[in-house]
Amino acid sequence: MRRIIVLALCLLILFGTIEYVCRGHVPANTYLGSHTISFFSRSEVLRLLAQDVDGSFQFKVRSRVYRYQYKESGVYVDVNKTLNAVFSHNTQGLFPVTRFFIGSFFSQRMVVPTVSFSDLFYAKFAQTVFDISTQNNDVRVNDQTKKLLFTDNTQKYRVDPKLLKQQIIGSVGTNVVLEPVTARISDTTENSRVLSYNERIAAITAKPVGIVLDGEKRAFAELTQGELLSIVTISYDQKHDNLDMGVDKNKLSDIVQSKEKSLNKGGDFTLDSEFMGTQLVTLVAARFNGYTHDFVIGRLLKKPNTDGTYAQKYIEIDISQQRMYLWENGSVSVAHSVSTGLYYPTPPGKYTILNKAPNAYSDIYHVWMPYWMAFYLDPKVNAYLGIHELPYWIDVTGTQIRRPSNFIGSPHTGGCVSLDVGEAQEVYSWAQVGTVVLVYE
């Protein structure tokens, strides 16, 4: 009888131990994500899951790795459901549990944590743009067509949240760097802006431009589309999205000279390319902005009084035309409109540049004369006459007041030769002391 009682007690202890071990611990060869949880107690599994709840996931977009906290990204590890999955064998009787526990020594078991995703997750990763660009987009002008060339250098991507979700579920509790499916986003905004600019630029040279002589009704010549392409200048400031349009004066001058062959006015006149250039700038802007503008006025000027052989380099001033010609190596390098003497006549004659100064002061008219180049000491007024920029004076408030630019082109000075702002500096840089100055009536 005693033996039976002892045997019964031993069996009871054995079954109790088996019950405690099998139901209170994780079977062998069991993995929770990448964690080995073999023989973990329920409390140990709970501690491990608590770490996963507060954990993070990371993924790579091209070469850059991003890390996000689960909670802040709308990713939630369901502890209770995951715990139930780990201890799912506990729902069986003692014998099946024991058999399951013993069998675990001979096979592996993988438990995937139960993960849920809130609307925050989908909103966050459907909208987030991952910008890994290393250089800005490039916009430059094609010298032949004058159109803008756009190169999209941006490296912007979006990830697929649905596929990312599946990867996260399989990576909870790991340090795996996920590689989600990405889609590149093109910079459609800047590309559309460039396309719009190009349509408007194309309108500038879409049709020839007729040249009509002042006072006449019909064009005697035209600027072809090819000539317009060579004349028009386009520059683009990408940083400030600023498009500047202008005219290449040198190329325009060459083309205008070729058009003079169609003139029937004798050989003493030339077309005013500077005047035509001003009109072309207006025409370019008008066509760019969608307006129809098909003609420019050709204004005739008397040709220079010399042919470029007087010296290798010299200045010619024609009072009747209010024009200045800079001759160099037998041809006019540039011509400017000027303003000559009204209150005191500019004397015709042959002179040379006597002295130069970045800025000079007139004691007679009490004005400052930038880019001063004296060419004659007039004994009648005991003062130098010279070439200079439109003069200015300082009022009592310290404000600089300059003679208006519309003075250029007609006599308005006290004997000197005034040039417009900017042009005087060009002449100042071009001429030296000793440069010949020829003044014709």
Q: Which one of 89, 336, 388, 412 is the catalytic residue?
A: 388
pTM assigned to the model: 0.58
Chain centroid, CA 170 distance in Å = 43
Asked if pLDDT for residue 110 goes beyond 80, the answer is yes
pLDDT in the model for residue 407: 95
Domains of the chain: total:
3
3-state class (DSSP) for residue 322: coil
Q: Are residues 283 and 360 in the same domain?
A: no
Asked if pLDDT for residue 427 goes beyond 90, the answer is yes
| Residue 399, H or E segment | none
Asked if pLDDT for residue 92 goes beyond 90, the answer is no
Q: Are residues 114 and 261 in the same domain?
A: no
CATH, residue 434: 2.40.440.10
- In a domain, residue 192? The reply is no
Q: Give CA–CA dist 46/84, Å, rounded.
A: 11
pLDDT in the model for residue 257: 84
Long-range Cβ contacts of 160-165 (<8 Å, 24+ apart) = 161/121, 161/122, 161/125, 161/126, 164/59, 164/125, 165/117, 165/121
Q: What is the pLDDT of residues 405-424, one digit of tens each?
A: 999 999 999 999 999 999 99
- Two tokens, residue 279: 């009109």
Range with top average pLDDT, 156-170, 293-307, 358-372: 358-372
Among residues 242, 271, 303, which one ends one of the domains? 303
How far are the Cα atoms of 130, 138, 394 from residue 153, in angstroms, in the given order?
14, 7, 51
Asked if pLDDT for residue 22 goes beyond 70, the answer is no
pLDDT in the model for residue 31: 80
Asked if pLDDT for residue 139 goes beyond 80, the answer is yes
Amino acid type, 6: V
Q: What is the pLDDT of residues 307-333, one digit of tens each?
A: 999 999 999 999 999 999 999 999 889
- In a domain, residue 191? The reply is no
CA angle 249, 254, 258 (to 5 degrees): 140
Rg of the chain over all Cα atoms, to the nearest angstrom:
44
Q: Are residues 270 and 130 in the same domain?
A: no
Average confidence (pLDDT) over 340-358: 97
pLDDT in the model for residue 411: 97
- In a domain, residue 230? The reply is yes
Asked if pLDDT for residue 267 goes beyond 70, the answer is no
- In a domain, residue 196? The reply is no
3-state class (DSSP) for residue 247: strand
- In a domain, residue 258? The reply is yes
Q: Are residues 77 and 133 in the same domain?
A: yes
Asked if pLDDT for residue 96 goes beyond 60, the answer is yes
Asked if pLDDT for residue 19 goes beyond 70, the answer is no
Q: Are residues 249 and 328 in the same domain?
A: no
- Two tokens, residue 200: 């408007």
Amino acid type, 104: S
Q: What is the pLDDT of residues 216-263, one digit of tens each?
A: 888 889 999 999 999 999 999 999 999 999 999 889 989 988 888 777
Least confident range from 101-105, 154-158, 160-164, 227-231: namely 101-105
Among residues 274, 303, 332, which one ends one of the domains? 303
Q: Give CA–CA dist 205/193, Å, rounded.
A: 20
Q: Are residues 158 and 26 in the same domain?
A: yes
pLDDT in the model for residue 9: 60
Q: How confident is the model at residue 6 (pLDDT cuts 50, 70, 90)?
A: low
Among residues 260, 284, 303, which one ends one of the domains? 303
Q: Are residues 108 and 50 in the same domain?
A: yes
Q: Are residues 299 and 430 in the same domain?
A: no
Work out the percent of the chain whose per-residue pLDDT is above 90.
62
Q: What is the pLDDT of residues 196-217, one digit of tens each?
A: 999 999 999 999 999 998 888 8
Q: Are residues 334 and 434 in the same domain?
A: yes
Asked if pLDDT for residue 24 goes beyond 80, the answer is no
Dihedral angle over CA of 167, 169, 172, 177, nearest 10: 10
- Two tokens, residue 180: 């989600």
| 388 assigned to active site | yes
Q: How confident is the model at residue 12 (pLDDT cuts 50, 70, 90)?
A: low
Q: Are residues 272 and 293 in the same domain?
A: yes
Q: How confident is the model at residue 90 (pLDDT cuts 50, 70, 90)?
A: low
- In a domain, residue 190? The reply is no
- Which residue range forms the structural domain that includes residue 348? 309-441
Q: Are residues 178 and 60 in the same domain?
A: yes
pLDDT in the model for residue 82: 79
* Phi and psi based region of residue 74 (left: phi greater than 0; alpha: psi -120 to 50; beta: remaining): left
Average confidence (pLDDT) over 291-306: 90
Q: Are residues 326 and 253 in the same domain?
A: no
pLDDT in the model for residue 282: 94
Look over the chain and give the mean of its residue pLDDT values, rounded to a whole number.
89
- In a domain, residue 394? The reply is yes
- In a domain, residue 147? The reply is no
pLDDT in the model for residue 237: 94
Average confidence (pLDDT) over 47-65: 88
